[in-house]
Structure 1
Amino acid sequence: MITRRQFLVGSLAFGGLASSALGKKMNLASMPISEGYGALVTDPQKLLDLPKGFSYKVISRLGNAMSDGMHVPDRADGMGCLPVEGSTDKVALVRNHELHPKHLSAQPESIQKHASTLAYDNYANGVALPGGTTTMVYNLNTQKVEREFISLVGTVRNCSGGITPWGTWLTCEESVDRPHGPNGDVVNKDHGYIFEVPASADSLIEAKPLKAMGRFNHEAACVDPKTGIVYLTEDRGDSLLYRFVPKEYGNLAAGGQLEALVVKDKTQFDTRNWNGNAMPVATWFDVEWVALENPESPNDDLRVQGYDKGAALFARGEGIHWGEDELYFCCTNGGSKQLGQIMQLLPSKDGDSDKLQLFLESEDKNLYNFGDNLTVCPNGHLLVCEDQYTDIVDNHLRGVTPAGEVYNFARLHAQTELAGACFSPDGEILFVNVYSPAQTLAIRGPWRKA
């Protein structure tokens, strides 16, 4: 099972609390399972069970008419919440839609007919590929969506991404489709890139790939606000952890260097623990970074190139989150039972003494099963979205207190996943997506009173 020590190590780090305790053995007997915010109350609408005192509101759903004349697409995945410049009561929610070209016929009619010169890629008839982002301008006071529109289109499988300190959302393609490869009869351009969507956008923007950040099966991104370095996960069973060191802070289009993580003195280190316990919980490893060449990778071989240079392997890197001077990322099927891991990386001030540790590895699918997107509550609790389609029907939002106590925060009734969890800047509202049929929820409650 997941030991309480494993949760304690991770949760202390997430909140930026008591970091001196990291990596130490704890007295497990004094760390009971927490009641969290209390027992979950059955939702009469049979959508999402929440603790007493919490409530949700559906603010957007598949097929809703948007302010640009289009309709909300399906497969809502990663999402970022950013303040709207010049406003104290409005936020921009930039939401990914993980749509492949084959999904077009199942989308609203307006999406099926959407043609634009601003799209990154189009079908032969000029219709834009359906992947991309929608943006909602949400009023925190009135609790209403004031505007909703397609903000980027023509991409493939926009899975997750990350917000930046300069007010943009990085949306990532989880695809390496090519015109002359798989699905080459549909796509007309190479895919597998990151695109940047400003929170200030008020309509569809031109989709410009940030090619220097690598062409691979992207999942998510987070940014060190001090250095502007972007850390990137890859959704593959033999994935790497990447970082992009930009030439200019806040100007990713100016280029930079893509690198992969290497565990010092442990060439080609396997963190997945599929064949033994190579990476014990709560053990720190010194790491460094190796430069990668030809980031556009026409043969989709960046992870092979990195591994040949000594890079460490991870099991399906997915959600990633920047905390206080550290970052955390989920490895969805890592661990001896392939139920999931969470890693912590401590970047150093000099860039030469970064450290990595495994601080959660699940051996019990009833406690933690395929963690994906993750975020941090206003009180420092960790909140993880599960993404599993196994014999356990329901996906949960799992909470962890700063004292290492584990609890369920929410239970989803539908056989789909929760994704894109993110908080409003004031910490009063949790926004989260129901993947399909797509819905976006705003959850309010006593976040600081667990």
Structure 2
Amino acid sequence: MQRRPLLQALALSPLASAFSTSAQRRQQGRPSAGYGPLRPVADEATGLPLLMLPAGFRYRSFGWAGEALANGGTVPGAADGMGIVKQQGEVFTLVRNHEIFGTAGGFGPAGSHYDVGCDGGTVTLRYDRAAGQLLEQRGSLSGTLVNCAGGTTPWGSWLSCEEIVTPAGHSGQMRGKPFKLEKPHGFVFEVPADGVSNARALAALGQFKHEAALVDADGTVYLTEDAQPAGFYRLLPARKGDLAAGGRLQMLRARKASDLRTGLKARQQLDVDWVDIEHPADGVGDNGHNGVLNQGRARGGSLFTRLEGLHAGRDEIFFTSTDGGDAKAGQVWRFIPSQQQLELFAESPGASVFDYPDNLCLHPRNDLIVICEDSKQPVQRLYGLRRDGGHDGLAGLFELVRNNVQLAGGEVEKLPALKGDFRGAEWAGTCFSADGKTLFANVYRPGFTVAISGPF
């Protein structure tokens, strides 16, 4: 995309001003953990003030929904989970999920289609950071449904997760039109850094409402489930680095707490073990979608609610619960593999503090957690959370970025149809470059990626 001047000045609305005042109130009485107040900053690609950032930060947008793909079709919307799967000098290869439930025929090459008529999948982006230029965008997996989040692997690929469970032959009506699915859904698919996916469902990783996936250094795969209730899972692979070879799927069991959705205190720690899932590919079960969860519950597996993002630090794995906690405003969990211990790292006391945490990532220094917001708030934010959060885990919480996307139509070169107020669109797909200088993130609607740089 080419930079062009603004067609008109886009001032903040009273709603956004009120939101800013609310954000200031949230931080009163807390130590200064952030980078200072936020202000509108112009995108270096379009010239539009798409984001609000602290002083010293800049960004460039790329990979907009509606642009052409190099191997056929156009870039879908609903830009969700994303990860860096390859870096060559200043050129980053990212794979981005598109969380679409539709049966219009998909995108990209036919060889990457799982269930031919389905529209979800992934787009692979090659971005030159030094030049600030998108080099290529191509379809790399299609024929899937509701590709929400996922995770990268140590061998340089992306695990794309379907957040839906349907049996083979499922049919119904969508937007007044009939549809029929040929294959079952609710699986994880691997996407290579180069080329396209073989569109093979990794059955050992289970059939459930997948959210995120993470491959730890020892080869164990951790998985979150976005359901109410939900489980936290791991796969012990039969062969490290080869997920198609299968393995043993298990669900976490806290030894003294069967229900982790409410009633806990921040920094409370629990010893855990794991229970086996005998039939990981039987996600439909008796009630249509909870087959895997019910198997784990029958053996004492512990219940969470709406588990989302997943990211590893040093002998620790962070994950979020969107509506967990007594206030149902969200929880941040920390699992320590070497100790088999689970900690409620932080819990929101209400939507005015932080609300509905989703995807998350850690800065390479391991001192900053970036959390995506997907809430009913009128404007969505990226939160920063410092490791030293005090007794409630929240002393280090601050606003890092605010969504400010307001398009009057015609501002985005080659995409004149994009129009609307998208400030309420969720953040997703956050990931840091290895040097910690760039934070990549997605604005879910209308659907694009930003590369944010600054003094992290």
Fold shared, TM-score > 0.5 on shorter chain: yes
**1:183, distance to aligned residue in structure 2 (A):** 4.1
Instruction: Give the SS at the match of 1:420.
Output: strand
Residue 82 of structure 1: aligned partner: 85
SS at match of 1:307: helix
Amino acid at match of 2:382: L
Check conservation: 1:177, 1:183, Cα contact below 8 A.
no
Within-5 A mapping of 1:201-216: 201-202=194-195, 204-216=196-208
CA distance in 2, matches of 1:114, 1:135: 11
What amino acid is the match of 1:367? V
Where structure 1 has 5 or more consecutive residues not aligned to the other structure, the ranges are 1-30, 105-110, 124-128
Which of the residues 384, 401, 426 maps onto 1:399? 384
Residue-by-residue CA offset, 1:51-96 (whole Å, 9 max, x unaligned): 0111111111011122224311110000001224xx3222211000
1:369 and 2:355 aligned? yes
Contact 1:343 1:356 (C-alpha < 8 Å) held by counterparts = yes
Q: C-alpha offsets along residues 342-383 of structure 1, whole Å, 9 cap, x if unaligned?
A: 1111112xxxx5011112111121221000000112442111
Q: CA deviation at 1:235?
A: 0.4
Instruction: Say whether residues 1:218 and 2:205 are aligned partners.
Output: no
Matched, 1:309 2:299: yes
SS in structure 2 of the partner of residue 303 of structure 1: helix
2:272–2:342 CA contact under 8 A, matched in 1: yes
Q: After TM superposition, list the pairs within 5 Å mapping 1:160-309 onto structure 2.
A: 160-181=149-170, 183=172, 185-199=179-193, 201-202=194-195, 204-225=196-217, 227-266=218-257, 269-273=258-262, 277=263, 279-297=264-282, 298-299=284-285, 300=289, 301-309=291-299
Instruction: Give the Cα separation in 1 of the matches to 2:107 and 2:372.
Output: 33
Question: What's the offset of the Cα at 1:41?
Answer: 1.0
Q: 1:113 to 1:251 in 2, by over 3 A?
A: closer
1:196-250, Cα deviation, whole Å (9 max, x unpaired) = 1111x23x3321110111000000011211x100000000111000000101111
Deviates more, 1:287-296 or 1:31-40: 31-40
Identify which of 354, 364, 373 aligns with 1:386.
Answer: 373
Q: Secondary structure at the match of 1:49?
A: strand
Task: Tell me how far apart the structure 2 counterparts of residues 213 and 282 of structure 1 sit (CA, whole Å).
Answer: 30
**Residue type matched to 1:155 in 2?**
T
Amino acid at match of 1:189: K
Q: Is the 8 A contact 1:172 1:194 kept in 2?
A: yes
Select the residue among 71, 74, 86 that pairs with 2:74.
71
Secondary structure, counterpart of 2:123 in structure 1: strand
1:62 is aligned to 2:65: yes
AA in 2 matched with 1:393: P
Distance 2:108 2:32 in 1: 49
CA RMSD of aligned residues (A): 1.9
Cα distance in 1 for partners of 2:99, 2:231 equals 22
Unaligned runs of 5+ in 2: 1-28, 43-47, 174-178, 390-395, 405-422
1:333, distance to aligned residue in structure 2 (A): 0.3
**Superposition deviation, residue 406 in structure 1:** 2.0
**Aligned counterpart for 1:334 among listed residues 324, 328, 331:** 324
Amino acid corresponding to residue 301 of structure 2 in structure 1: A
2:251 & 2:398 partners in 1: Cα distance? Answer: 34
For 1:360, the equivalent position in structure 2 comes to: 346
Contact kept, 8 Å, 2:112 with 2:140, in 1: the verdict is no
- After TM superposition, give the deviation of residue 114 of structure 1 in Å: 6.0
Distance in 1 between residues matched to 2:155 and 2:244, nearest whole Å: 13
Kept after mapping to 1: 8 A contact 2:124/2:139:
yes
Check whether the contact 2:107–2:139 (CA below 8 A) recurs between aligned residues.
Answer: no
Name the residue aligned to 2:11: none
Alignment-mate amino acid for residue 322 of structure 2:
T
**More relative contact order in 1 or in 2 (CA 8 Å, sep 6+)?**
1
- In structure 2, relative to structure 1, the CA distance for the partners of 1:247 and 1:112 (3 Å cut) is closer
Aligned residues of 1:82 and 1:424 also touching (Cα < 8 A): no
Q: Percent identity?
A: 39
1:40 aligns with 2:47: no
Contact 1:101-1:186 at 8 Å conserved across structures: no
Q: Which amino acid aligns with 2:116?
A: N
TM-score by length of 1: 0.83
| 1:142-177 CA distance string (max 9 Å, x none) | 221211100111000000001111111110000112
The one-letter amino acid paired with 1:400 is: L
How many pairs align? 389
